[in-house]
Amino acid sequence: MHLTHLSLVDFRSYPSLDLTLGPGVTTLVGRNGQGKTNLIEAIGYVATLASHRVSADAPLVREGASHAVLRARIVRGDRAALVELEIVPGRANRARLNRAPVSRPRDVLGLLCTVLFAPEDLALVKGDPAGRRQFLDELLVARTPRMAAVLADYDRVLKQRSTLLRTAGAARRSGGKGDLRTLDVWDGYLASYGAELLAARLALVEALRPGVARAYAAVAGTQAQVGFEYRASVPPPQQGPVLPDGQVLPDGQVWPDRQVWEEAIRTELVAARPREVERGQTLVGPHRDDLLLTVDGRPARGYASHGESWSLALALRLASFELLRADDREPVLLLDDVFAELDAGRRSRLAELVAPAEQVLVTAAVEADVPAELAGTCFVVAAGEVRRVS
Ligand SMILES: Nc1ncnc2c1ncn2[C@@H]1O[C@H](COP(=O)(O)OP(=O)(O)OP(=O)(O)O)[C@@H](O)[C@H]1O
Ligand SMILES: [Mg+2]
C-alpha cells in the first residue's frame, strides 16, 4: 500500500499542509525543528491512532488551535480509501472513512499500515517494559485490527478492577471490611481478555523471532546471537497435554494456548489477592509482562553498547516489516532520522533492506546522511513549508 495524499490542519507546527506523495522513496530534508518528524508522526497517527512521541493528544494540536485534522488517501492494489481524523484534546477523536462518519475511530485501524523507525526506538531496548509491550501490541493490531478491541477491553477491565482494589484496600486500612464482592467477576474478565492478549503476544513473538535474528545480523554485520523471549508475569502453566513450549498449534496459537493461560491467570489471581488488596493494584496479567532481548546471552538492557542497541531496535522494526509483508499487508515505511546514528556500512545495509518496500519516507537533517541507494523524490522542509525539489 502507499499514501497518495496527506493533508494536515493545525497538526503540530502546521496550520495547513497538502502533500502529494507517490510510491517509492521520498526523502524529507530540513534543518532541526522544521517539521519533519511532525509529518512522520501524523502518518503514524493515521495508522495507529497514537503518536510515537507523546501519549496525550494536546501537544499534537497546534498551539492556539482547538483541534487538528488529518486526512490521508491510501491506495492498496486497485482500491483507494480516504481516512479523516479529527483530534480534539480531552475528547474522543472523530473519524470518517470515504467521507462517511464511522462509529468508532478504531474502525479505521488497518486501512493504513506503517512501520515507523525513529530515534525513540532506542527505548525499546534500553527503556522500561511498557515500551516493549506497546511495540508488541501495536504490531498485533497492525496484523489483526480486531486486537484493538481486545486491548481496549483489557485496559478497561484493568482500570475498573484496580479502582475496586484501591477503594477496598483503603477501606480495610481504615478498619472497615472493604467490599470485594464484585472482584470475582472482574477476575473472570481479566483472565479471559488477559489470556487472549497473552496468547496473541506469544504467537507474535514466535513469528517475529527468526526475522529479528536475521535482521540483526544483516544490519550489524556480525554473527552475534540475538535472543527474543517473552517473559510472562504469570508462571507458565505446568499441567495439561505435554507439548513443547512455543509449539505452533494447528489454529495458529502457540502452546500453552489461550485456555491454558486463562486458567493460569485465574489461579494466580487467587494467590495474589491478599497482596493486591494490600497494595491496591492488579499484580497479575499481561500488563506486567516483558520481552527479554539479549545479545550473545546478555540482556541488551544494561549490557548492549549504543551501536548494538540501535541495531537491535532497527532489527525489531525490520522484522515487523518482514512479517507484515508476509501477511500481505505491505506497510509504508517511515524512517525518521535513523541514518545519522549509523556508520557507513550499517547505513547502506539498512538502505538495501528497506528499499524494496512499496513506499518509504525518509527524513534527515542533512541530505548527505541519506544513502545513495535511497535516492528518490526529495522534499525540503523549512519553516512548516514542504517543497518538492526533485
Ligand atoms: N502543538 C504544537 N504547536 C506549534 N508548534 C509545535 C507543536 N508541537 C511541536 N511544535 C514545533 O514543531 C517544530 C518542528 O518539530 P519536528 O519535531 O517536526 O522537527 P524536525 O524537523 O523533525 O527536527 P529535528 O531535525 O530536530 O528532528 C518544533 O519547533 C516544535 O516546537
Ligand atoms: Mg525530527
Task: Catalogue all structural domains in the chain, each as residue range(s) with its CATH number.
Answer: 1-113+332-390 (3.40.50.300), 126-329 (1.20.1050.90)
Percent of the chain with pLDDT over 90: 84
CA distance 220 to 305: 12
Q: For residues 11 and 68, is the Cβ–Cβ distance under 8 A?
A: yes
Q: 337: Cβ below 6 Å to ligand 1?
A: yes
Q: Is 50 helix (H, G, I), strand (E, B) or coil?
A: coil
60-69, 243-252, 253-262, range with greatest mean pLDDT: 60-69
364 versus 237: the higher-pLDDT residue is 364
Residue 66: what pLDDT?
Answer: 97
Q: 10: Cβ below 6 Å to ligand 1?
A: no
- Ligand 1 atom 24: residue of nearest CA: 32
Distance (angstroms) between ligand 2 centre and the Cα of 132 equals: 22
Q: What are 148-185's pLDDT values in tens digits?
A: 999 999 999 999 999 999 988 888 888 877 777 888 99
Q: What are 38-51's pLDDT values in tens digits?
A: 999 999 999 999 99
Q: For residues 323 and 139, is the Cβ–Cβ distance under 8 A?
A: yes
List, in order, residues 6 or more apart from 52 with CB less than 8 Å away.
41, 44, 116, 118, 120
Residue 9: what pLDDT?
Answer: 98
26 pLDDT above the threshold of 90: yes
Residue 11: what pLDDT?
Answer: 98
Residue length of the chain? 390
Rounded average pLDDT over 271-284? 93
Q: Which of 135, 108, 127 is nearest to 52 (CA)?
A: 135
Q: 34: Cβ below 6 Å to ligand 1?
A: yes
pTM comes to 0.94
Amino acid at position 259, single letter: Q
Q: 89: Cβ below 6 Å to ligand 1?
A: no
Rounded average pLDDT over 97-107? 96
Rounded average pLDDT over 134-142? 97
Give the E-state strand segments of the chain in sequence order.
2-11, 14-20, 24-29, 68-76, 79-87, 94-97, 100-101, 114-117, 226-231, 290-295, 298-299, 332-336, 359-364, 377-382, 385-388
CA distance 28 to 337: 10
CA distance 19 to 69: 14
Distance (angstroms) between ligand 2 centre and the Cα of 316 equals: 20
Instruction: Count Cβ neighbours within 10 Å for each residue of 296-333 and write b for 16 or more, e otherwise.
Output: eeeebbeebeeebbbbbbbbbbbbbbbbbbeeebbbbb
DSSP bridge pairs for 72? 6, 83
CA distance 220 to 170: 52
Q: 11: Cβ below 6 Å to ligand 1?
A: no
Residue at grid coordinates 523471532 = 209
Q: Is 65 helix (H, G, I), strand (E, B) or coil?
A: coil
Eight-class DSSP state of 237: P
Residue 110: what pLDDT?
Answer: 95
255 pLDDT above the threshold of 70: yes
Q: 66: Cβ below 6 Å to ligand 1?
A: no
130 pLDDT above the threshold of 80: yes
CA distance 276 to 363: 46
Q: How is the beta sheet containing 226-231 ordered, strand by strand? A: 226-231, 290-295, 298-299
Q: How many C-beta atoms lie closer than 10 Å to residue 41's C-beta?
A: 23
Residue 240: what pLDDT?
Answer: 54
DSSP bridge pairs for 386? 381
C-alpha grid cell, residue 175: 478498619
Choice among 92-106, 170-184, 192-206, 267-281 with the minimum mean pLDDT:
170-184
Distance (angstroms) between ligand 1 centre and the Cα of 34 equals: 6
Rounded average pLDDT over 72-86? 97
Q: What are 191-216's pLDDT values in tens digits?
A: 999 999 999 999 999 999 999 999 99
Distance (angstroms) between ligand 2 centre and the Cα of 28 equals: 10
275 pLDDT above the threshold of 80: yes
Distance (angstroms) between ligand 1 centre and the Cα of 162 equals: 37
Average pLDDT, the chain: 93
Q: Which of 97, 117, 116, 115 is nearest to 107 (CA)?
A: 97
Q: 67: Cβ below 6 Å to ligand 1?
A: no
Ligand 1: which atom is nearest the Cα of residue 61? 1
List, in order, residues 6 or more apart from 282 with CB less than 8 Å away.
158, 161, 162, 165, 190, 276
Tell me the chain's radius of gyration from C-alpha atoms.
22
CA 154 to chain centroid, in Å, comes to 17
Rounded average pLDDT over 280-291? 96
Relative to the alpha carbon of 13, which ligand is closest?
1
241 pLDDT above the threshold of 70: no
Relative to the alpha carbon of 51, which ligand is closest?
1
- Ligand 1 atom 8: residue of nearest CA: 12
Rounded average pLDDT over 5-16? 98
Report in angstroms the alpha-carbon separations of 310 from 61, 146, 182, 277, 317: 30, 31, 46, 41, 11
Residue 239: what pLDDT?
Answer: 57
Mutate-to-test residue for ligand 1 from 8, 36, 39, 338, highest number of ligand atoms within 8 A of CB: 36
Residue 180: what pLDDT?
Answer: 79
Q: 37: Cβ below 6 Å to ligand 1?
A: yes
Relative to the alpha carbon of 35, which ligand is closest?
1
Q: For residues 333 and 356, is the Cβ–Cβ distance under 8 A?
A: no
Distance (angstroms) between ligand 2 centre and the Cα of 381 equals: 11
- Ligand 1 atom 19: residue of nearest CA: 33
Rounded average pLDDT over 61-83? 97
Distance (angstroms) between ligand 2 centre and the Cα of 154 equals: 33
